[in-house]
Amino acid sequence: MASAFSAARRSAAGRRPVRVLKFGGTSMGTTPERLARIAGIVAEAHRRGGVVAVVSARGDSTDRLIDEARTANALPPGRELDQLLATGEARSAALLAMALHGVGVPAVSLLGAQAGVSVSGRHTDGRIRDIDTARVREALARGDVAVVAGFQGLNAAGDVTTLGRGGSDTSAVALAVALGADGCEIYTDVDGIYSADPRIVPDARLIPVVRNSVMAEMAYAGARVLHTRSVELAGRAGLDIHVRSAFNHRPGTVVVPEPEGADTAVLETEDRVVAVSHEPGNARVTIVAVSPDVPLRGTEVLALLADVSVPVDVMTRFTDRSGRHGWDFTVPADDVDTVTSLLTTLPGSLAVDAAVAKVSVVGAGLMSDPRTMGRMLNALLATGIDPLSMATSQSRISATVPETDCARAVAVLHEEFLSGPLLHEAMRPQTVAAGPRI
């Protein structure tokens, strides 16, 4: 995918600049007023040049479609579920194109397949393989706004395949890369990226600029503003992502590629933590070998879960008092039934706690200062929160805690690490192009 997009981007050099704007489900809303507001934003951008608008399903449409599917079949087949879910974005695209025509802006709505999006992988969790931008470019050449249904594409069999929850972000970034855009603008219902969830930490502060590597860790650790894969793709392509509110003109947050020499600058600073992220809805899985003589290899566990695209995090190998070894890790709670059915085929005893949250401090150079993990643990213990497990890397330290302790853990860690100035200068590139405001 990266090579195909890189080639497309090179071929786009010298063309008329194109802006790619993505609107989330909350921004789109379910009222005529919300739709008119989004049409106004797109119309203003259209007056300045070519525009591709990528849209999510309106409001909670996706959730309602999933509920409807489960009334027909408790375990709906992936292919048919994708056929249904893709209609949410298709509806949004057609309605926005109609609204644009209503304010005198020529527009054409395109499904993911019509926009040339090719997808591989399993249903409900596809990966963008390539984008043939010919039809989008034709629309732009006519002066139309191309309104593209996000979250979807066509697989090799000619079937609609969706990209997983939040996948419209990835659709937008992929189109921006393929079209050679300078950046991708993500419009949402918040003002940008915060140092923690403001609903939990009222004094959480907006981060004006954040590096791609840090944002990727924040997204993976539970920050829901951006889809993890969209951040990863933008980082590989050297693309800026500008996150801003659809409801005001505040500057938002710019997610920028890594500047040269960034790591050295960060590692030489004292304060390395940038944000606290959290992810409820996890399950802690423990599997132990039946006896010391029967091996239980982590590769077997990971291979089974990889085959069904279940992500594994905070994984630890341990040995109990009887000499049996085992594995402890987290998976999304929604995948518990799948994980249980697979792992019961292995020679081990299985235990699952389906009410676990993952709380993380995110930044850079975290392992370079061993005090960081100690501060995190001490802060949690001092509040009566005893982590179930912990894992660390240079950019993220995560702890699993009972889900009932999640909000308190976030507030405690934000107070511990981010009660002073939000970002030290080494975390900020010296020059950032924030892009035109609307």
Give a yes or no: residue 436 inside a domain. Answer: no
Do 208 and 294 have their domain in common? no
Q: What is the pLDDT of residues 163-191, one digit of tens each?
A: 988 899 999 999 999 999 988 999 998 99
- ∠ CA 35-105-60, rounded to 5°: 20
Give a yes or no: residue 431 inside a domain. Answer: no
Phi, psi of 147 (to 5 degrees): -100, 110
Region 15-26 average pLDDT: 87
Look at residue 77 in the predicted model and tell me its pLDDT.
94
Supply the range of the domain harboring residue 234.
2-258
Structure tokens belonging to residue 338? 């799948």
Look at residue 1 in the predicted model and tell me its pLDDT.
47
Structure confidence at residue 45 as a pLDDT band (50, 70, 90): very high
Do 237 and 344 have their domain in common? no
Do 221 and 349 have their domain in common? no
Contact criterion met (CB below 8 Å) for 242 and 181: no
Look at residue 375 in the predicted model and tell me its pLDDT.
94
What is residue 426's three-state secondary structure? helix
Q: What is the pLDDT of residues 404-432, one digit of tens each?
A: 999 999 999 999 999 865 443 333 433 33
Closest to 146 in 3D by CA, of 262, 245, 53: 53
Give a yes or no: residue 387 inside a domain. Answer: yes
Contact criterion met (CB below 8 Å) for 133 and 116: yes
Give a yes or no: residue 423 inside a domain. Answer: no
Query: Tokens 């503003």, residue?
Result: 225
Q: Is the pLDDT of residue 433 over 50?
A: no
Do 199 and 55 have their domain in common? yes
Q: What is the pLDDT of residues 270-299, one digit of tens each?
A: 448 999 999 999 999 999 998 888 888 888
Do 113 and 229 have their domain in common? yes
Closest to 172 in 3D by CA, of 161, 162, 183: 183
Do 124 and 235 have their domain in common? yes
Residue ranges of the alpha helices (H) in 47-195? 61-72, 78-102, 134-141, 167-179
Give per-residue burial for 230-246: e unless 16+ CB within 10 Å, then b. Answer: bbbbbbebebbbbbbbb
* Phi-psi category of residue 164: left, alpha or beta, with phi > 0 → left and psi -120 to 50 → alpha: left
Region 382-409 average pLDDT: 93
Do 249 and 320 have their domain in common? no
Give a yes or no: residue 222 inside a domain. Answer: yes
Give a yes or no: residue 394 inside a domain. Answer: yes
Helices and strands (DSSP H and E) totals, the chain: 14, 18
What is residue 405's three-state secondary structure? helix
Do 146 and 225 have their domain in common? yes
On average, the pLDDT of the chain sits at 88
Q: Is the pLDDT of residue 265 over 50?
A: no
What CATH number did the domain enclosing 350 receive? Answer: 3.30.2130.10
Do 286 and 205 have their domain in common? no
Do 306 and 253 have their domain in common? no
Do 166 and 235 have their domain in common? yes
Look at residue 394 in the predicted model and tell me its pLDDT.
85
Greatest pairwise CA separation for the chain in angstroms: 75
Look at residue 420 in the predicted model and tell me its pLDDT.
62
Q: Which of 58-72, 87-101, 269-283 has the lowest mean pLDDT?
A: 269-283
Provide the domain count of the chain. Answer: 2
Give a yes or no: residue 432 inside a domain. Answer: no
Give the CA dihedral 405, 214, 330, 415, nearest 10 degrees. Answer: -10
Do 222 and 314 have their domain in common? no
Structure confidence at residue 15 as a pLDDT band (50, 70, 90): low
Give a yes or no: residue 228 inside a domain. Answer: yes
Element (H, E) at 355: strand 348-363
Region 344-353 average pLDDT: 91
Q: What is the pLDDT of residues 75-91, one digit of tens each?
A: 899 999 999 999 999 99
**What CA–CA distances, in Å, run from 59 to 25, 28, 63, 344?**
5, 7, 9, 38
What CATH number did the domain enclosing 10 receive? Answer: 3.40.1160.10
Structure confidence at residue 309 as a pLDDT band (50, 70, 90): confident
Closest to 135 in 3D by CA, of 100, 88, 179: 179
Structure tokens belonging to residue 29? 């809303």
**What CA–CA distances, in Å, run from 341 to 281, 289, 290, 350?**
19, 17, 17, 11
Q: What is the pLDDT of residues 106-119, one digit of tens each?
A: 999 999 999 999 99
